[in-house]
């Protein structure tokens, strides 16, 4: 890997990590531990670990798409960027503004965007698509938690 490719790879890793970090800065003081939660709920210490892993997988996956010569990569990366915007705003809607039901609907839209992105990525790089599967599954689980918190709080 030459220096340009290394720089691009690092940039693609940093973009989703920065989105997650910036989102965390805007959520305020509301804490996951303060909610009444559904029966199956992970401990709050698990979330930053899982999200860091997922953001790293997103970065690797998006770099694979970016570095391809496929004509569909611009469309796929646009969908990727759009889902990152939805990802960024979900936690703000949920934690900062306590819009639990709206955040749930927002999360459903995010899940749809992730599915579309995975499909677009698969046509370019199956590996890039497979790297997004944990993110999709975690967001589906997050929707369960989001809806449960909406119902219980």
What's the total number of domains in the chain? 1
Residue 90 has pLDDT above 90, yes or no: yes
In a domain, 53, yes or no: yes
Convert the pLDDT of each residue in 26-78 to its tens digit: 987 667 778 899 999 999 899 999 999 999 999 999 999 999 999 999 999 99
Q: Which two tokens stand for residue 6?
A: 């290394």
pLDDT given at position 30: 67
Identify the domain containing residue 103 by its residue range: 3-20+46-152
Encode 31-68: b = buried (16+ Cβ within 10 Å), e = exposed: ebeebebeeebeeeeeeeeebeebbebbbbbbbbbbee
pLDDT given at position 1: 72
In a domain, 115, yes or no: yes
In a domain, 25, yes or no: no
In a domain, 32, yes or no: no
In a domain, 15, yes or no: yes
In a domain, 37, yes or no: no
In a domain, 38, yes or no: no
């Amino acid at each position: 890997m030459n220096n340009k490719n290394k720089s691009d790879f690092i940039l693609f890793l940093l973009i989703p990590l920065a989105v997650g970090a910036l989102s965390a800065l805007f959520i305020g003081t509301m804490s996951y531990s303060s909610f009444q939660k559904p029966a199956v709920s992970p401990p709050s210490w698990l979330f930053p670990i899982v999200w860091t892993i997922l953001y790293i997988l997103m970065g690797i996956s998006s770099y694979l798409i970016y570095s391809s010569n496929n004509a569909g990569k611009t469309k796929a990366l646009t969908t990727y960027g759009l889902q990152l915007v939805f990802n960024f705003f979900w936690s703000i809607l949920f934690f900062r503004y306590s819009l639990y039901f709206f955040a749930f609907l927002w999360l459903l839209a995010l899940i749809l965007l992730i599915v579309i992105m995975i499909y677009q990525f698969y046509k370019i790089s199956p590996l890039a698509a497979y790297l997004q599967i944990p993110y999709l599954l975690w967001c589906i689980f997050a929707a369960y938690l989001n809806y449960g918190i909406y119902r219980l709080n």
